A and B are shown apart, each in its own frame.
Chain A
Amino acid sequence: MPAADGTAADGTGRPEPNHGLRIFLLWLPVALVADLLIWFVWGPHLPPGAMSTSAATQQSAIKIMSVMAAPVMALVLVYGAYALVVWRHREGDDEDGPPIHGNTRVSVTWIGVTSVIVLSLAVFGTVELAGPAGAGAGEGNTPIWRPSGGTPLQVQVIGQQWRWTYRYPQFGGFETTSLMLPVGENVQFNVTSLDVIHSFWAYQLGVKADANPGVNNVAYTKPEHTGQVQVRCAELCGLWHADMTTAGQVVSLSAFNTWTASTRAQLAALTRNLPPYTLTYDANAVAQLGKVFQKAGLNGAGGGFYGSQYPVQP
Chain B
Amino acid sequence: MSLAARVTTLIVAVLAVVGGVIFVVAHYLLGGPPTVDFAAATSGQVNVTMQTDASSDPAVVLDHPTWVSYFIKSPASGSWVHTTLFQVPAHTRVNVTIYGYDGSTPVRNQVWGQVTGTTSGVADYGGKPVKTVNGWNGPYLIQHTFAIPSLNLSVPVEAGPATCTTGPCTNNQHSTTTFSFMTPAQPGAYRWQCFVPCGLSYLDGNGGPMQTIGYMTGNMQVVS
B37-45, B69-77, B189-197 - interface stretch: B189-197
CB–CB A313/B203 < 8 A: yes
Q: State A273–B195 Cα separation when bound (angstroms).
A: 17
Are A165 and B109 in contact, with the CB atoms below 8 A?
yes
Smallest Cβ distance from B65 to chain A, in angstroms? 16
Complex alpha-carbon distance, A196 and B205, angstroms: 11
Cβ–Cβ contact A306 & B205, under 8 A: yes
Tally of chain A residues near chain B (CB < 8 A): 44
B152 within 8 A of partner (CB)? yes
User: Which B residue's beta carbon lies closest to that of A302?
Assistant: B103
Find chain B residues with CB under 8 A from A273 CB.
110, 113, 132, 134-137
Contact B113 A195 (CB under 8 A): no
Which residues in chain A, 257-301, are within 8 Å of chain B measured between CB atoms? 267, 269-270, 273-275, 283, 286-287, 289-293, 298, 301
Does A15 count as interface, using CB distance less than 8 angstroms?
A: no
The answer to whether B195 and A303 touch across the interface, beta carbons within 8 angstroms, is no
Interface residues on B, range: 35 or more
A40 within 8 A of B: no
With beta carbons under 8 angstroms apart, the residue of B106, B132, B193, B208 that contacts A305 is: B106
Q: Which residues of A contact B134 (CB under 8 A)?
A: 273
Judge if B168 is at the interface, Cβ distance under 8 Å. no
Which residues B102-137 have CB closer than 8 A to chain A? 103-106, 108-111, 113-114, 131-132, 134-137
Contact of B197 among A158, A175, A177, A195 (CB under 8 A): A195
Nearest chain B CB to A12 CB, angstrom units? 63
Interface residues in A116-144 (C-beta closer than 8 Å to B)? none
| Interface membership of chain B positions 195-211, coded 1 if the CB is closer than 8 angstroms to chain A and 0 otherwise | 10101111111111011
The answer, yes or no, to whether B141 is at the interface (CB within 8 Å) is: yes
What is the bound-complex CA distance between A125 and B146, given in angstroms?
46
Which of A17-25, A68-76, A220-228, A237-245 participates in binding chain B? A237-245
The distance in angstroms between the C-alpha atoms of A42 and B23, with both chains bound, is: 49
Determine whether the beta carbon of A163 is less than 8 Å from that of B103.
no
Contact, CB under 8 Å: A286 / B136: yes
Number of residue pairs A-B, CB distance < 8 angstroms: 123
Q: How far is the CA of A195 from the CA of B114 in the complex (A)?
A: 20
Q: Is B110 a contact partner of A274 (Cβ separation < 8 A)?
A: yes
Q: Report whether B141 and A292 are in contact in the complex, using a CB–CB cutoff of 8 Å.
A: yes
Chain A CB within 8 A of B19 CB: no
Checking B110, B114, B137, B203 against A292 with a beta-carbon cut-off of 8 angstroms, the contacting residue is B137
Please determine whether A291 and B136 come into contact, CB atoms closer than 8 angstroms: yes
Contact check, A270 vs B202: say whether CB atoms are below 8 A apart. no
Q: Which of A194, A243, A269, A307 sits near B149, CB closer than 8 Å?
A: A243
Chain A 144-168: CB-based contact to B (< 8 A → 1; otherwise 0): 0000000000000010111101000
Residue pair A240, B217 in contact (C-beta under 8 Å): yes
Residues of A within 8 A of B31 (CB): none
Question: A286-B136, A303-B105 given. 18 additional CB < 8 A pairs?
Answer: A160-B109, A161-B210, A162-B193, A163-B195, A175-B109, A175-B111, A177-B149, A195-B197, A196-B206, A239-B210, A240-B217, A270-B132, A273-B135, A275-B110, A283-B108, A298-B104, A306-B197, A314-B211
Please list 19 pairs of residues, one from A and one from B, whose beta carbons are closer than 8 Å in the complex, sorted by A's number: A161-B206, A238-B210, A269-B131, A274-B110, A283-B108, A283-B204, A286-B108, A290-B106, A291-B138, A298-B104, A301-B201, A303-B104, A305-B106, A306-B197, A306-B200, A306-B202, A306-B205, A308-B204, A313-B202
